[in-house]
Structure 1
Amino acid sequence: MKKITFCLMMACLSLTFNPNELKANPDSLKTVQNSSEAKALLSRLETFKAMDKSDLSWKEKRELRKEVKSIDQQLRAIGGGIYISVGALLIIIILLIIFL
């Protein structure tokens, strides 16, 4: 009996996920709040993307990568929000089903 309910539960859960909807959003940086600080950081990132990096030395490239990482961290801090992975969401749902 337990195997049947487990199999039915897994079948229902497998049908609820659509792989087309799980694609990463390429415009995730554009959804950051429209504060002046965020706009300044985004414009700084755009200048880095437009920059010709072929004539930079490896030290300059490393510093550029570090600065891009720090800007990304600042943008994530400004954006805020709570992100729950799919696995954590499944565990929460299963625990709710078991305890309720």
Structure 2
Amino acid sequence: MKKLFYLLSMLFLFLAVSPMAMAKKDNPELTEEEKSRLVEIEMRVDEIKAMDFSTMEKAEKKAVRSELKEIKKEAKDLGGGVYLSVGAIIIILLILILLT
């Protein structure tokens, strides 16, 4: 009985602190402007990945790092997405193991 209570309490704990509650739900479709901006962001990230950081100075590296943080934040705001919490993944795995 204690194991069952412990399992259920952990289940509710993980479900209560789910990141899906924090995800945007009011943006199901992207406009053409947003799609083009996402393409621009992807191209800029590819350019940054292709850069040679060994020849850069410390200030330049810091500027690129801050630009990447801003890009990531903007892409997250535009993209939305589906998020699964760690608890939800564990529960799914447990259910799959128990049902097989």
Q: TM-score, normalised by structure 1?
A: 0.53
Distance of 1:5 and 1:43 partners within structure 2: 51
Q: Which residue of 2 aligns with 1:23?
A: none
Q: Secondary structure at the match of 1:35?
A: helix
Unpaired segments of 5 or more residues in structure 2? 12-29, 90-100
How much does 1:4 deviate?
Answer: 5.5
Gaps of 5+ in 1: 14-32, 91-100
One-letter amino acid of the structure 2 residue matched with residue 6 of structure 1? F
Give the distance between the partners of 1:38 and 1:51, measured in 2 at CA: 20
The AA in structure 2 aligned to 1:3 is K
Higher relative contact order (CA 8 A, sep 6+): 2
Runs of 4+ in structure 1 over 4 Å off: none
Paired with 2:83 and 2:51, the residues of 1 have a C-alpha distance of: 32
1:53 deviates by: 1.4
Report SS of the residue matched to 1:83.
coil
Aligned position for 1:47: 47
Aligned residues: 66
Determine the structure 1 residue equivalent to 2:66: 66
Q: Please state how far the C-alpha of 1:45 moved relative to its aligned partner.
A: 0.4
| 1:28-58 residue CA offsets vs partner (Å, 9 max, x unmatched) | xxxxx78100000010000000011111100
- Equivalent in the alignment of 1:78: 78
Percent identity over the alignment? 35
TM-score (norm 2): 0.53
RMSD across aligned positions (CA):
2.8
Aligned-partner Cα distance in 2 for 1:38–1:75: 7
Q: Which has the larger radius of gyration?
A: 1
Matched, 1:3 2:2: yes
Return the alpha-carbon distance in structure 2 between the equivalents of residues 38 and 45 of structure 1: 11
